[in-house]
Structure 1
């Protein structure tokens, strides 16, 4: 069994604990938390499971890494603390662990990552013998392996569009939603996530990754952003009220230009309530969906909806992204130490739960 640590117990960490506990080759060795109120609580409770897992959460990072875990699922946020996230991930790699995480956006395609960041990771790998695989929570498979797999089903490919369409009514991450994305803020507020260059920093690597898989080079990455105000005050299940006239929806595209045209596009349509921007793409049901469209012959379109934690679509999206990361752990532990991306990791199949009828 591969001793595996889950670092963080938020939206992604809860799903990671469940995924590690269910994996036939992984053993949950420790859970690291930052909140002192979570210290000592059983991992099963923190993950929303009905049964205890016999692993108490701890904030003693040094002790956990000193025990020599073979793998770490780093599920702590890197949105507003990228430097801290990188430092903690490097610490785990230097301890000899295989690390999988969605937290370091520039490393989705490490070949195009900032040289300083990439060099730090490679130095940690050389020093400790660990590895790193970064894939997104958008989810990553929706912006790399799924569109590339679909591209091989037709005779010609003219373009690829990957969409994330979400309503955050039931989402439970107010800091990111209100401050980072700007929902509920005045329309003259500048959301950090939409600042020029930031969408490219976050999603540009996935554009380049898909281009590399298709055997082409991106000449330029262009950003297109739209914002809409709420037409009336709305109340959300977990984040309270959002006032009329404040930002209620955003739509942006990160476009990879090839031959001067946007041929590979990642598009996000995000609302705080279904009543806002109803003329923009909507999920077929519920709060969210991921869609991939292959323009070509034939034209192929697939929409994926995942639910978890009592039918929550945001939780379902997190769980599928985490599943991609956790399922790569055993392959990474068998591979040489290194810095890997989504094109390096082979498709991993699930395991049928034999306990079910």
Structure 2
């Protein structure tokens, strides 16, 4: 049986984009036709080389946005560090379905963005899907699936634990690690808009349970570095530095959705610069869902340990794969903004291969 194939473009090749790019090259369901890069050092390189594979695809990376938009393609996996709605709309209007790992996610909180996206979808006759591991899986698809094991639900809690020393990321500096603790508490580095990126996930879970969210509250606590902590920004990236003793070495953001006067869904984000922080937190990198009720349950989603016994944090590669594996369903969906509910149970093809 011959499976339908989809002509795909990979937009950006950071950690997220690289995981998707490798998938597109190796999966026979996809025909890679273009790669957009923003790093001048990557221009002209074969897509295989950028994905850590043999440079034999014949698809060369470009930073020419107009050339990418002009390509004949079914879909785009859009994974820049910061999403640009106008660019997304140009891709949609050109007749390309888009899965964006950076959102925008929520029509309720960004109506102007989604008016433009819907108009572009109509113009191109295509669909737009916002996706990722969180928001997009661990905070919505996973807990919604688990609710079928429950007789009664009191409280759903979703956790993200990341050790940023073991798993270096460019977000370390952006997130304000190394700042004065009181200054960070007074003015967090994470945008006040951040909870709204996750609001659709919370709403999706609540609506799946037949409830409506009344409000979302936020809380931040910090941990201090107990010694100087050197850090890097990850493989292939220049920069890094030292988190000085007494400065912010850990952050715990807590966002809670309330329903009928009680907490219904809480998202916890525990980010730490290794174990040398006070208070000490669990730093075993993973996602975790805890549902309080009858019967209570707990599920942990994590990578297998590496040769050193440490579990790597796969949130970024998983983000790329969640977008990539959804693309055929997005291409076949009705034109417009499509959610996980609209897509139904995504059935990725091409994963089992010799």
Instruction: Give the alignment's TM-score, normalised by structure 2.
Output: 0.89
Out of 118, 129, 134, the position equivalent to 2:114 is: 118
Shift of 1:302: 0.5
Verify the 8 A CA contact 2:177 2:249 in the aligned structure 1: yes
Correspondence list, 1:200-215, <5 A: 200-215=195-210
Shift of 1:186: 2.4
Shift of 1:330: 1.0
Aligned residue in 2 for 1:184: 178
In 2, distance between residues paired with 1:305 and 1:232?
Answer: 28
Q: For structure 1, which segment, 218-227 or 39-48, has the greater mean C-alpha deviation from structure 2 after superposition?
A: 39-48
**1:231 and 2:226 equivalent?**
yes
Verify the 8 A CA contact 1:213 1:343 in the aligned structure 2: no
In 2, distance between residues paired with 1:132 and 1:54?
Answer: 28
Residues 277 and 134 from structure 1, CA distance in 2 versus in 1: closer, same or farther, beyond 3 angstroms? farther
Aligned residue in 1 for 2:91: 92
Residues 172 and 50 from structure 1, CA distance in 2 versus in 1: closer, same or farther, beyond 3 angstroms? farther
SS in 2 for 1:141: coil
Aligned residue in 2 for 1:291: 288
Report how many residues are paired.
338
Q: Which has the higher helix share?
A: 1
1:99-138 CA distance string (max 9 Å, x none): 0012124x2x43x232211111111111122211002343
Residues 352 and 34 from structure 1, CA distance in 2 versus in 1: closer, same or farther, beyond 3 angstroms? closer
Instruction: Give the alignment's TM-score, normalised by structure 1.
Output: 0.88
Out of 290, 293, 299, the position equivalent to 1:302 is: 299
Correspondence list, 1:1-357, <5 A: 1-50=5-54, 52-78=56-82, 82=83, 85-105=84-104, 107=105, 109-110=106-107, 112-138=108-134, 140-174=136-170, 176-179=171-174, 181-187=175-181, 188-189=183-184, 190-193=187-190, 195=191, 197-237=192-232, 238=234, 239-277=240-278, 279-283=280-284, 288-306=285-303, 313-314=312-313, 316-350=314-348, 351-355=350-354
Moved beyond 4 Å, runs of 4+: 307-312
In 2, distance between residues paired with 1:18 and 1:326?
Answer: 10
SS in 1 for 2:205: helix
Structure 2 unmatched ranges of 5 or more: 235-239
Shift of 1:65: 1.8
1:275-312 CA distance string (max 9 Å, x none): 224543332xxxx1000111111111010113699987
SS in 1 for 2:291: strand
In 1, distance between residues paired with 2:322 and 2:122?
Answer: 25
Structure 1 unmatched ranges of 5 or more: none
1:241-289 CA distance string (max 9 Å, x none): 2111221100011100012111111110001222224543332xxxx10
Tell me the C-alpha RMSD between the 2 structures: 2.2
